[in-house]
Every structure is written in structure tokens, then in C-alpha cells.
Chains A and B, each alone.
Chain A
């Protein structure tokens, strides 16, 4: 059965690759250094595939059919869709057996994700995947989560999904070692009058909850309260998914930088 060899959550922002130099150097170095360290941990432990849980940005889905969660079971995935991301566009190898197993196992254990054989990958996945493997050889199962269009899965449900995800991966006998990563948040505004604002208080509070391992306060947030940290704050659903993967939650926050030019509170946490 597969062993989960690395679990971490990271913020993402398209500017982290498209406009790295726009950020103050010490901030970019702190965040990206922590991301590189988390990525290396996963690779050094022999991950043969990686599952990345990230957010839908209308890259794959429109309002005619918008899944809460979609598991990418394709043999390969094209990304990034953004030609300005400064990541070479190419075909990322999929892990179809792992992805199909995850979809099937999770359905058998109380969740109903959709699946796709043809997911396109945007900055949400590619900025983090590129940090893990810039050569684009590590097989990837992308899991795309609805963090933008109401109604959205509850924060608690995302944590529960993460728990089920870990069980699914550990029940897979086609690989020995798999990494599981969450990508999104933290506070930011997109397409809103407050674009550019970062809620440092929220970010620090959220990271304190993650580090404490007690997430009941987070689970009790309504959508309306959460989005006072920005409509992009809904992406913490990916972090909570990873917390569920790691249960019991023991996390070390290795970086937090509110990076104005990237319009996002940027953080990395490794889970043991």
C-alpha cells in the first residue's frame, strides 16, 4: 500500500512566477525558500506521484456545470493555461491509476467528487507543481475544488474530504510513496474593489489555528465572515483539505509573508 511521504500546504499567486521580482526580495526569498524546502522534503522521501488540491478559477468549468470537487484521472494534463506565467507550457504526466482509485475509494467512503480525464491546469496547480518538479516528470493527480462560486462545500466538509483522500491514497497498491499538497489562499481579493488588500490579521489567526491543530473555530466561520478576508480567502478550503489528510493535525508554519505586489498573504506549512 502507498505511504503518504510528504504533506504540505502553500499559498499560490500567479505573480509568484510571473512577477517574482515585483515582490520585495526578502519576502519572495522567505516564501519561495519555504516552498522549495517543503517540495524537496516530498521529493527526498521518494514520492512517486503527487496529489495537488487546488482551486477552480473558471479554467475548466463554467456555471453550466460546476463541481465542488473534481479528481483529474487523465493520463496527462496541459498546463499552464496562462502563457504569461513564466512556466513553460507542456504536458504534465498524470497518474490515471492512482487518480481513478482515489475517485472510486472516496465515493465508496461517503463523498461524491466528479472526475475528469481532461483537466487543464492553471496557476493554482502549476506554480506549486513547478516548485516540486520543474522538469515535469513527476506524475500528478490534480484535485480541483470549488472555492469561488456559491454554494461551496463547507470548511468542515473539505477537512473530511482530506481525511478520505489520505485513506484512499494509503489503500492504493500501485505505488509505494505519494505526496499530497494543498495550494491556495491565504487572504486576497480578486476582481473586487479591494483588490490588493491583504488581511494580515486573518492570515496570522488562520495560521495559528492550523499550527494549534484545533480547527473548530475555523470550521465555524460562515462564508460571509470568511470573505471579510477577501473573496480569495475561500481558498483556505485547500489548506483544510490537507489538514484532514494529516489528521491529527500537527503543522509547522515555515513562512508567512504578506506580499503586496502579489496581492496575497503567502504562507507555507508542513504537516507531519
Chain B
């Protein structure tokens, strides 16, 4: 399933946080499946990453929750992608 609705919630939440006049964000207004809703409600950063939230949105959301970059680096440590090829600048 697309992570569009989940990312929309993250985006809207971040922008509401930046605005003094933004509308309240209601989770029920977003078409989230069970796992997505649970990740949001549990502040499950690792879950949000694995569900496909865009990294830029993920970073901003993590920081808004008080997580440092080192915090989520550690949280996601075992999810590093293995390099698929040696890039030309290392050959």
C-alpha cells in the first residue's frame, strides 16, 4: 500500500507545528491502515521509516518529537542498505 496518506499526516502535522493559526490535525481524517495508525499513535519512528515515510519528512518529524539525529541513526542502525556497486569516485 502507498504511504501517501501516512506521509500526508506527517507533512500536515509538521506544518501545523510551524503555524500559529493552523487547523488541528485529526488522525481520523487520514486513510491510514492499521499498521500506519499504530506507528503514528505509538510515535514508532522505526515503524514510520519502515512504512516508507520520505527521509526528509522522517527527519523533521523525528526532530519535532525530540529525537536527535544520533538517536535515530542508532534506532535505524540495522536497516542500512548494503552498497550495490562501488561508485566511480572510489575506484
Q: Please report A residues at the B interface, Cβ cutoff 8 Å.
A: 57-58, 62-64, 81, 83, 148-149, 189-196, 199, 201-202, 204-206, 217, 221, 224-225, 228-229, 231, 263
Q: Is the CB of B4 within 8 A of A63?
A: yes
Q: Is the CB of B55 within 8 A of A192?
A: yes
Q: Is the CB of A58 within 8 A of B57?
A: yes
- Known interface pairs A58-B54, A63-B4, A148-B54. Does A196 touch B87 (Cβ–Cβ under 8 Å)? no
Q: Is the CB of A217 within 8 A of B54?
A: no
What chain A residues lie within 8 Å of B55 (beta carbons)? 189-192, 231
Q: Is the CB of B87 within 8 A of A58?
A: no
Q: Is the CB of B60 within 8 A of A229?
A: no
Q: Is the CB of A57 within 8 A of B56?
A: yes
B79 in contact (CB, < 8 A): yes
Bound form: Cα–Cα A204–B11 in Å = 34
What chain B residues lie within 8 Å of A229 (beta carbons)? 87, 89
> A63, A190, A196, A228: which contacts B83 (Cβ < 8 A)?
A228
Name the CB-closest residue of B to A226: B87
A-B contact count (CB 8 A): 74
- Known interface pairs A202-B87, A224-B84, A225-B85. Does A193 touch B77 (Cβ–Cβ under 8 Å)? yes
Q: Is the CB of B8 within 8 A of A195?
A: no
Rounded to whole Å, the gap between the CB of B5 and the closest CB of chain A is 10
- Known interface pairs A58-B11, A63-B7. Does A191 touch B85 (Cβ–Cβ under 8 Å)? no
Bound form: Cα–Cα A221–B58 in Å = 26
Q: Please report B residues at the A interface, Cβ cutoff 8 Å.
A: 4, 7-8, 11, 14, 18, 49, 54-60, 62, 69-70, 72-73, 76-81, 83-85, 87-90
> B56, B70, B78: which contacts A58 (Cβ < 8 A)?
B56
Q: A191-B55, A192-B55, A225-B85 are in contact. List 7 more A-B contacts (CB 8 A).
A: A58-B57, A62-B8, A191-B54, A193-B77, A193-B80, A195-B73, A221-B88
Q: Is the CB of B79 within 8 A of A148?
A: no
What chain A residues lie within 8 Å of B18 (beta carbons)? 81, 83
What chain B residues lie within 8 Å of A201 (beta carbons)? 89-90
What chain B residues lie within 8 Å of A81 (beta carbons)? 18
What chain B residues lie within 8 Å of A148 (beta carbons)? 54, 56
Rounded to whole Å, the gap between the CB of A148 and the closest CB of chain B is 6
18 intermolecular pairs with C-beta atoms under 8 Å apart: A58-B11, A58-B60, A62-B8, A63-B4, A149-B54, A190-B56, A190-B59, A191-B56, A191-B57, A193-B77, A193-B78, A195-B69, A196-B69, A205-B89, A224-B84, A225-B88, A231-B55, A263-B69
Q: Is the CB of B76 within 8 A of A193?
A: yes
